[in-house]
Amino acid sequence: MRRPMFALHVLAGLCFLGASGAPAEEIVYGPDGAPTVVQRKLHAMTGRWEAGASFGIALNNALIDQIGGLLSLSYHPNEWLDFGAEALLNHTGLSDLARNVRGDLRPRTAGQVGDEFRNDNQLRLGGFAVARVAPIYGKLNLASELRVHFQAFLLGGAGIAQIHRESVNLCADPGTGVCQSFQQSDALTGTGIAGAGVRFYFNQRWSLVSEVRGYLFRSSYKRANDLTQPSSGSPSHYLAAIAMFTGGMSFLF
């Protein structure tokens, strides 16, 4: 058996350890003398389809609790690129912090004006086209006989998502006194995705995939709202971002 070898992978001046001595695809060199394919990759992906399932949780929104799942199907035309489609479904709701804020709201009085809380967006479902660029392939030696092969990647995409908003502090009923119901809205909006992740290979078919991704979309909140008149106030638009951590399994076929 051949001794393990180091493989040099050139990308933006970074050097990484390559896979162990296993059957490797032929190395093709470009005009600049650099290899155009990942060298000595133990688990080849060229020409294969990949199906994945992941669970995700929101990271950056204190006012919202959000957890859900993601299904994906993609195609790998070569070793460093794949593209495909994803379907997202989340269970969402106000966090304990948002409910505590509501509990501390004072009864409304005539002429009372305030700004709506922003960052209360609930990403409930969506469909996206996504591409991944994965130039970094390497190996971790966890023990003398245990080698874990991995591939790091960047991802980007776009699609349509349903955004539910339930205002934390603006009442839906006109009048004074304690608020009984709060303003809500649902909208389909164009959404972009950007993120990064890493894949850990178990064998030629199964791998563990973990990502941190951000969903970017246009949202708004109301300013100078008369708290006794739900139709008052002026909208202020901003670019909302919901960061999510996802982890799951993928199957190559």
* Six-digit token string for 146: 């245990």
* Six-digit token string for 185: 């809205």
Phi and psi based region of residue 177 (left: phi greater than 0; alpha: psi -120 to 50; beta: remaining): left
Report pLDDT for 35: 47
* 42: number of Cβ within 10 Å: 18
Q: Whole-angstrom Cα distance, residue 81 to residue 131?
A: 7
- The residue type found at 42 is L
pLDDT less than 70: residues of the chain: 1-40, 142-146
Report pLDDT for 233: 93
Torsion of Cα atoms, 11 then 29 then 6 then 46, to 10°? 80
Report pLDDT for 240: 97
Q: How many helices (H) and strands (E) does the chain have?
A: 1, 10
Q: Whole-angstrom Cα distance, residue 201 to residue 199?
A: 6
Any idea where the domains of the chain sit in the sequence? Answer: 48-252
CATH match of 48-252 with 2.40.160.20: yes
Report pLDDT for 143: 66
Q: What value, to the nearest 5°, has the Cα angle with vertex 7 and ends 2 and 13? A: 170
Q: CA dist 64 to 74, 143, 180, 216, Å?
A: 30, 42, 20, 16
pTM (whole model) above 0.85: no
* 246: number of Cβ within 10 Å: 21
